[in-house]
């Protein structure tokens, strides 16, 4: 016979196993280092000894990298390194906030669909399928266009466009958890729906959502850079890697360094999140213990 | 098969209707009076009243939607404010250019992605596998618009090998058309190649462990025959399905690629429409891509059934 303790959700021990596996994975570690580095740069931006990101120097227009300006200057004499550092703030913020928006809407909807089933599930699932049918970037561009060009609207647009994936994942995971014996036991002892969701469902659907969230931050950073590149994200003169590239494409012959650094930064931070996400997926995969 | 198609089409109808509701709702996101946004600089009360009546904006919301969807079902997605052409005509004009770009990008992606995935799976755990995975992950992490800018800088500006922008129809001059499109297609194809490589590797790993591959080896067949004829042939089923589903990524990627290389396609139409506040075109494009994406999904399912005999008899 199954007792309540037998059917309790997995203990916290696997967490240390996951951490151990993650630490032993060199790719995941490289990813964590890259993400950590850019996060540190973004946080320290206000205290780093650099010129202001919008400070212009008309005597140093389009200057190649030198001792005075380590990454050179742009078309109106602004320090590229300073703009890169402040741009890191915009890019990381956009990536994290967009995913937070997607999670904040996606998880409740997905859990509600998977838990309640019936009509709630049918309505939420059809809505999700409809949103998934529009390609991610085209939907984000359309939303950003209608909301108006700004970094905050770009974050909302990216968050809403990324949300359906989380609804689908949360729904599928909730449905899988609902078949476990410990849910039946929790119901048998009279726990409320909210208590079951809070204590048993959310902690158990968290790992795959964490993996997806990490990978989606990478997608969101590229999406923000794409929207800013198109002029729909961060507005000039505020710095962002995407908008720096938008300007840089007009000065490729005269000042190629303006285009070089923001692209490398986007590549490295996105690679970092992708490596970390892949590492987390491997570490959380119970088949690969 | 006909029954399968009919079932899938029936399921697609509510999804398409829901998309149309979202697309219609986009217009309602516009801050302030949509008529002012449509009229642009025009502030003549008579013009504003004319637009309000033309687009039924004084009607209740559900009537506005019914009137819009009724038109859309008959192929009327509205008129472009900028060019005064029907939206569907505009999309029809630009789509062939994007299809050419997408087909070339897909060929590049298949040529790079599938063989790399096969070799990577066959040599699992080797330096080649590790390197291929790293390159694939890098391919997924490089923003394609930046790759485009860098290629223009190197190939066009520094070496002068290929044109940096422009478009020539293949019906006018095939050689010149390929010359102008090869770089954009490469930019668009690299990200897809990375996706295809990862899927091919994963599919091949599954197949290489299967009993029939072990049997083929036991029969004494050469490794080349085992890998290509027995393993790859079976692994191709999910690969082809994934390729069909990459359609959405191709369209989204084309938006930025066409912008960088100034290609007058579907993607450039979206961006121009956004900046000209040509909202009917933006709505039309989102609706058309979503419907096309659903059609590609049905096609992917059909291909999967045709290629996989075990699925054919399932109801």
Give the whole-angstrom CA distance, residue A201 versus residue A111.
8
Q: What is the pLDDT of residues A5-14, one digit of tens each?
A: 444 555 456 6
Query: Which residues in chain B have their CB less than 8 angstroms from residue A230's CB?
Result: 255-256, 259, 271, 274
Give the whole-angstrom CA distance, residue B274 versus residue B12.
28
Count CB pairs under 8 A between chains A and B. 134
Query: Would you state the pLDDT for residue B106?
Result: 92
Q: Do A143 and B26 touch (CB under 8 A)?
A: yes
Query: Which residues in chain B have their CB less than 8 angstroms from residue A222's CB?
Result: 143
Residue of A26, A95, A145, A225 best to disrupt the B interface, most CBs of B under 10 A: A145
Give the pLDDT band of residue A66 (cuts 50, 70, 90): confident
Question: In this complex, is the C-beta atom of B252 within 8 Å of any C-beta atom belonging to chain A?
Answer: yes
Question: In this complex, is the C-beta atom of A252 within 8 Å of any C-beta atom belonging to chain B?
Answer: yes
Which residue in chain A is spatially nearest to B285 when comparing CA positions? Answer: A138
Which residue in chain A is spatially nearest to B287 when comparing CA positions? Answer: A134
Tell me B256's DSSP state: H
Q: Which of B14, B143, B289 is opposite residue A135, by nearest beta carbon? A: B289
Question: B residues 154-183 near A, CB within 8 Å?
Answer: 157
Residue with tokens 């303006």: A258
Give the whole-angstrom CA distance, residue A123 versus residue A128.
9
Query: Would you state the pLDDT for residue B45?
Result: 81
Which residue in chain B is spatially nearest to A248 when comparing CA positions? Answer: B149
Question: In this complex, is the C-beta atom of B298 within 8 Å of any C-beta atom belonging to chain A?
Answer: no
User: In degrees rounded to 5, what are phi and psi of residue A62?
Assistant: 50, 50
Minimum distance, in Å, between the CA of residue B259 and any CA atom of chain A: 8
Q: Do B249 and A135 touch (CB under 8 A)?
A: yes
Q: Which of B15, B249, B255 is opposite residue A133, by nearest beta carbon? A: B15
Helix axes A118-133, B2-28, angle to 10 degrees: 80
Q: Taking the mean position of all CA atoms in its chain, how far away is CA B14?
A: 22
Q: Do A252 and B157 touch (CB under 8 A)?
A: yes
Give the residue-averaged pLDDT of A39-65. Answer: 88
Residue of B102, B144, B146 best to disrupt the A interface, most CBs of A under 10 A: B146
Question: B residues 105-134 near A, CB within 8 Å?
Answer: none
Minimum distance, in Å, between the CA of residue A196 and any CA atom of chain B: 32
pTM of the model: 0.87
Query: Which residues in chain A have their CB less than 8 angstroms from residue B294's CB?
Result: 133
Q: Which of A141, A218, A229 is opposite residue B145, by nearest beta carbon? A: A229
Answer whether residue A4 shows pLDDT above 50. Answer: no
Answer whether residue B315 shows pLDDT above 70. Answer: no
Q: What is the pLDDT of residues B59-101, one digit of tens each?
A: 888 888 888 888 888 888 888 877 888 999 999 999 899 999 9
Which residue in chain A is spatially nearest to B143 when comparing CA positions? Answer: A222
Q: Is A253 exposed, middle or buried (0-12, 13-18, 19+ CB in 10 A)?
A: exposed
Query: Would you state the pLDDT for residue A3?
Result: 45
Q: What radius of gyration do chain B's Cα atoms show?
A: 24
Q: What is the pLDDT of residues A129-173, one digit of tens each?
A: 888 888 888 888 888 888 888 999 999 999 999 999 999 999 999
Give the pLDDT band of residue B210 (cuts 50, 70, 90): confident
User: In degrees rounded to 5, what are phi and psi of residue A72?
Assistant: 85, -175
Question: In this complex, is the C-beta atom of A156 within 8 Å of any C-beta atom belonging to chain B?
Answer: no
Give the whole-angstrom CA distance, residue B55 versus residue B20.
16
Which residue in chain A is spatially nearest to B279 when comparing CA positions? Answer: A146
Q: What ipTM goes with this model?
A: 0.84
Query: Would you state the pLDDT for residue B234?
Result: 82
Q: Give the closest residue to B120 by CA, choosing from B106, B107, B131.
A: B131
Q: Of A52-61, B22-31, B252-261, B299-308, which one has max mean pLDDT? A: B252-261
> Taking a C-beta distance cutoff of 8 angstroms, is the pair A31, A271 a contact?
yes
Query: Which residues in chain B have their CB less than 8 angstroms from residue A143's CB?
Result: 26, 29
Q: What is the pLDDT of residues A222-276, one digit of tens each?
A: 999 999 999 888 888 899 999 999 888 888 888 888 999 999 999 999 999 999 9
Minimum distance, in Å, between the CA of residue B209 and any CA atom of chain A: 16
Q: Which of B256, B294, B297 is opposite residue A226, by nearest beta carbon? A: B256
Q: Is A76 exposed, middle or buried (0-12, 13-18, 19+ CB in 10 A)?
A: middle
Q: Do A138 and B285 touch (CB under 8 A)?
A: yes
Answer whether residue A2 shows pLDDT above 60. Answer: no
Which residue in chain A is spatially nearest to B19 when comparing CA positions? Answer: A130
Give the whole-angstrom CA distance, residue A185 versus residue A154.
44
Q: Which of B14, B270, B289 is opposite residue A126, by nearest beta carbon? A: B14
Answer whether residue B264 shows pLDDT above 50. Answer: yes
Q: Taking the mean position of all CA atoms in its chain, how far away is CA B207?
A: 28
User: What is the average pLDDT score of chain A?
Assistant: 88
Query: Would you state the pLDDT for residue A10?
Result: 52
Which residue in chain A is spatially nearest to B250 when comparing CA positions? Answer: A135
Query: Which residues in chain B have their CB less than 8 angstroms from residue A220's CB?
Result: none
Minimum distance, in Å, between the CA of residue B213 and any CA atom of chain A: 23
Query: Would you state the pLDDT for residue B42?
Result: 65
Q: Do B26 and A146 touch (CB under 8 A)?
A: yes
Q: What is the pLDDT of residues A235-246, one digit of tens each?
A: 888 999 999 998
């Amino acid at each position: 016979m199954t007792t309540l303790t037998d059917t309790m959700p997995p203990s916290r021990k696997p967490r240390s196993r996951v951490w151990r596996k993650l630490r032993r994975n060199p790719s995941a570690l490289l990813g964590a280092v890259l993400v950590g580095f850019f996060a540190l740069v973004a946080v320290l931006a206000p205290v780093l000894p650099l010129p202001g990101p919008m400070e212009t120097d008309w005597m140093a227009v389009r200057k190649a990298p030198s001792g005075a300006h380590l990454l050179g200057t742009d078309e109106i004499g602004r320090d590229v390194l300073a703009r890169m550092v402040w741009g890191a703030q915009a890019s990381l913020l956009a990536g994290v906030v967009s995913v937070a928006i997607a999670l904040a809407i996606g998880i409740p909807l997905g859990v509600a669909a998977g838990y309640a089933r019936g009509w709630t599930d049918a309505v939420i699932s059809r809505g999700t399928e409809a949103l998934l049918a529009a390609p991610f970037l085209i939907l984000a561009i359309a939303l950003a266009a209608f909301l108006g060009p700004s970094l905050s609207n770009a974050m909302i647009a990216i968050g809403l466009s990324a949300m359906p994936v989380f609804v689908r994942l949360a729904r599928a995971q909730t449905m899988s958890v609902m078949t476990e014996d410990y849910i039946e036991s929790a119901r048998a002892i009279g726990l409320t729906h909210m208590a079951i969701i809070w204590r048993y469902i959310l902690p158990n659907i968290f790992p795959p959502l964490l993996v997806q969230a990490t990978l989606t931050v990478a997608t969101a950073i590229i999406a923000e850079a794409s929207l800013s590149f198109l002029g729909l994200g961060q507005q000039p003169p505020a710095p962002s890697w995407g908008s720096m590239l938008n300007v840089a494409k007009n000065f490729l012959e005269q000042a190629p360094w303006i285009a070089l650094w923001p692209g490398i930064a986007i590549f490295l931070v996105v690679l970092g999140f992708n490596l970390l996400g892949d590492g987390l997926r491997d570490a959380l995969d119970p088949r690969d213990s | 098969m006909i029954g399968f198609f009919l079932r899938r089409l029936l399921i697609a109808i509510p999804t398409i209707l829901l998309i149309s509701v979202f697309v219609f709702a986009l217009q309602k996101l516009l801050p302030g009076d949509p008529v002012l946004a449509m009229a642009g600089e025009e502030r003549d009360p008579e013009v504003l009243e004319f637009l309000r009546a033309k687009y039924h904006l004084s009607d209740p919301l559900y009537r506005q939607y019914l009137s819009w969807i009724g038109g859309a079902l008959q192929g009327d997605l509205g008129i472009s404010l900028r060019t005064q052409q029907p939206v569907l005509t505009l999309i029809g004009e630009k789509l062939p250019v994007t299809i050419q770009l997408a087909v070339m990008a897909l060929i590049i992606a298949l040529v790079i992605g599938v063989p790399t995935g096969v070799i990577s799976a066959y040599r699992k755990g080797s330096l080649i596998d590790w390197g291929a995975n790293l390159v694939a992950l890098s391919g997924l992490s490089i923003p394609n618009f930046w790759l485009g800018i860098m290629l223009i800088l190197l190939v066009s500006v520094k070496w002068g090998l290929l044109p940096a922008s422009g478009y020539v129809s293949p019906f006018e001059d095939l050689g010149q058309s390929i010359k102008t499109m090869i770089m954009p297609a490469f930019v668009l194809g690299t990200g897809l190649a990375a996706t295809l490589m990862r899927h091919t590797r994963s599919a091949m790993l599954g197949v290489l462990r299967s009993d029939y591959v072990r049997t083929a080896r036991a029969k004494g067949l050469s490794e080349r025959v085992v890998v290509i004829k027995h393993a790859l042939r079976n692994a191709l089923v999910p690969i082809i399905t994934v390729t069909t589903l990459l359609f959405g990524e191709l369209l989204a990627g084309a938006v930025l690629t066409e912008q960088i290389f100034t290609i007058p396609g579907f993607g450039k139409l979206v961006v121009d429409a956004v900046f000209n506040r040509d909202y009917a075109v933006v709505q039309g494009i989102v609706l058309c891509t979503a419907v096309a994406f659903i059609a590609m999904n049905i096609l992917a399912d059909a291909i999967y059934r045709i290629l996989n005999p075990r699925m054919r008899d399932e109801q």
